[in-house]
Amino acid sequence: MDFREKLSQIIDEKREMLIDVSDQIWDYAETGFEEVQSVELLCNILQQEGFTVEKGVGGIETAFIGTFGESKPNIAILGEFDALSGLSQQGGLAQAEPVQLDGNGHGCGHNLLGTGALAAAIALRYYMEEHHIPGTIRYYGCPGEEIGAGKTFMVRAGLFDDVDFALTWHPGTQNGVMSMSSLACYEVSYRFMGKSSHAGVTPHLGRSALDAVELMNVGVNYLREHIIPEARVHYATTNTGGISPNVVQAEAEVLYLIRAPKVAQTEGIYQRICNIARGAALMTGTEVEIIFQSALSDLIPNKTLETIMHHNMTELGVPVHNQEEIVFARDIRYTLSEEDKEADIRDIPELKGKEISDMLLPYKESSVVMPGSTDVGDVSWVVPTAQCWIACDALGTPFHTWQMVAQGKTSIAHKGMLHAGKVIASTAIDIMQDLQIIEKARLELIERLGGETYQSPIPKEVTHYILRLHTTKVVGFLGS
């Protein structure tokens, strides 16, 4: 029996337990930095499986590390488990129906992500013990991927400094290795303070903070033409200053996401946006407070590790689906737009007419920068990192939708999740069979950084992510 079969066997033996963990995290549906029950569950399982668990790492209550082993190399398996607000949806149902109105939902499949990574860590722990392979497995419990970039805080706290390589995955609609960079991103709130007054009787005595928000947004929209086309700037008014038009709004707040391929470019655009905010305050006679919430870096791909991951994906094949699963995927696809379906299989003619992907995408290095962002980027600056997609959803399913929540608790998703565990564990063992690969991956990272060293994009004075409690509705920000 080769190592992939053995690792797969360990995961298959723990199948029921792993599915149960994933489904429970799906049920908890806790949003970023509030993943208390999900963390409790994951930590309990890690302890049961012989890992030493340290909670509250990096000064974040819901960040943790589960460790097994003592010697080098140190292997990081990254797990996420946060949900999105406003996306409550019944599992296994192909029509929009929330479990709870305005409730949360796992619209990015992080219940699967965290549990698939857990499967890999557990399989590695038993395999390495049985075969006397030196090394330490660390499961990194990374909170708040969708808001606040938990990993960026964890990297800044030095939690990855002695790691030799990191592996992770993300559920999606395709099977393949991810080999593209992603956009760096800043998350910044602009809070305007004015003076309230009766809007009908004494408007001249008021200073409207909401006017300032509107003028700032207009200013930024004019800025768009004069920034690099790869950049993305989007905003949400998180505090309108109340719902009474007859009150001049004394306070209002807008949240911005500022993205560009590199941190330095993001910083430049951020500074210009801050000036626009100051201009809006000047125009309206209000004051502005700039609250830097969080940030994340662009992703540095690592071909050395990616080709090994791809090789293991080739050896392990892709998840196979039965007729019932294909029919459910078809029902989900009835609810998707033609554009959604088409966008997913563009340039992949083999998938035309399919409901779920049944193929592995060929490995190709891409110079295209994914227009989303991930805090895996910060890990990839300090540790050679590889990640893959595994199909857990019908083709065309967009992220952060009720359709993705609905599929997160089905046998399609469970199959993908267990498969991801096998891919990650096999890739890790493959790498450890030839320690020169680790050195090669490290040298590749140095070369790709071209003399740059990691600087945290989060300013020193921002010690932790601040949940903006008056925010009317929190949706997914930084992640994807």
Residues in Cβ contact with 352 at an 8 Å cutoff, skipping those fewer than 6 apart:
345
Burial class from Cβ neighbours inside 10 Å (0-12, 13-18, 19+) for residue 161 reads: exposed
Minimum distance, C-beta of residue 110 to Zn ion, in the bound complex (Å): 6
Identify which of residues 140 and 270 has a Cβ nearer to Zn ion in the complex.
140
Return the SS3 of 96: coil
Instruction: Name the helix (H) or strand (E) containing 288.
Output: strand 287-296
Stretch that binds Zn ion, among 82-90, 101-109, 243-251, 421-429 (CB under 5 A): 101-109
Sign of CA dihedral 439, 443, 444, 449: positive
Tell how many helices (H) and how many strands (E) occur in the chain.
14, 13
Q: State yes or no: residue 108 binds Zn ion (CB under 5 A).
A: yes
- 114, 116, 135, 479: which one binds Zn ion (CB under 5 A): 479
Element of type H or E holding 113:
helix 110-130
In the window 26-85, what residues touch Zn ion (CB under 5 A)?
none
Give the three-state DSSP class for 305. Answer: helix
DSSP-assigned states of every residue in 142-204: E--TTTT-HHHHHHHTTTTTT-SEEEEEEEES-BEE---EE-EEEEEEEEEE-B--BTTT-GG
Choose one: 107-115, 318-326, 349-357, 407-415; the region binding Zn ion (CB under 5 A): 107-115
Total number of residues binding Zn ion (CB under 5 A)?
2
Stretch that binds Zn ion, among 32-40, 102-110, 210-218, 342-350 (CB under 5 A): 102-110
Residue nearest to Zn ion (CB): 108
- Nearest to Zn ion of 112, 300 (CB atom): 112
Query: By C-beta, is 108 or 254 nearer to Zn ion?
Result: 108
> Smallest distance from the beta carbon of 168 to Zn ion, in angstroms?
11
CB 400 within 8 A of CB 84: yes
Amino acid at 467: L
Q: Answer yes or no whether residue 376 interacts with Zn ion by CB under 5 A.
A: no
Give least dist CB 21 to Zn ion, A. 18
- Burial of 458 (C-beta count, 10 Å sphere; 0-12/13-18/19+): buried
Q: Report, in Å, the least distance between residue 112 CB and Zn ion.
A: 10
Q: Is 101 helix (H, G, I), strand (E, B) or coil?
A: coil
Residues 127-156 that bind Zn ion (CB under 5 A): none
CB-nearer residue toward Zn ion: 184 or 209 = 184
Cβ 270 to Zn ion shortest distance, Å: 24
- Residues 4-27: b if buried by 16+ CB within 10 A, e if exposed: bebbbebbeebeebbbebbbebbe
Nearer to Zn ion, 283 or 343 (CB): 343
Q: Let me know how long the chain is.
A: 480
Separation of alpha carbons 159 and 143, rounded Å: 14
119 or 252, CB closer to Zn ion? 119
Q: What minimum distance in Å lies between the beta carbon of 399 and Zn ion? A: 7
Select from 166, 177, 79, 121 the least CA-distant residue to 388.
Answer: 177
Q: Which stretch binds Zn ion (CB under 5 A): 33-41, 105-113, 424-432, 440-448?
A: 105-113
Q: Does 171 bind Zn ion (CB under 5 A)?
A: no
Question: By C-beta, is 139 or 389 nearer to Zn ion?
Answer: 389
5 phi/psi in degrees, rounded to 5: -65, -40
User: How far apart are CB 226 and Zn ion at their closest, in Å?
Assistant: 32
Nearest approach, Cβ of residue 163 and Zn ion (Å): 21
Q: Is residue 247 classed as helix, strand or coil in its secondary structure? A: strand
- Minimum distance of Zn ion from residue 113's CB (angstroms): 7
> Interface with Zn ion by CB under 5 A: which range of 222-230, 447-455, 461-469, 471-479?
471-479
Which range touches Zn ion (CB under 5 A), out of 26-34, 59-67, 106-114, 118-126? 106-114
Binding residues for Zn ion, rule: CB under 5 A, are 108, 479
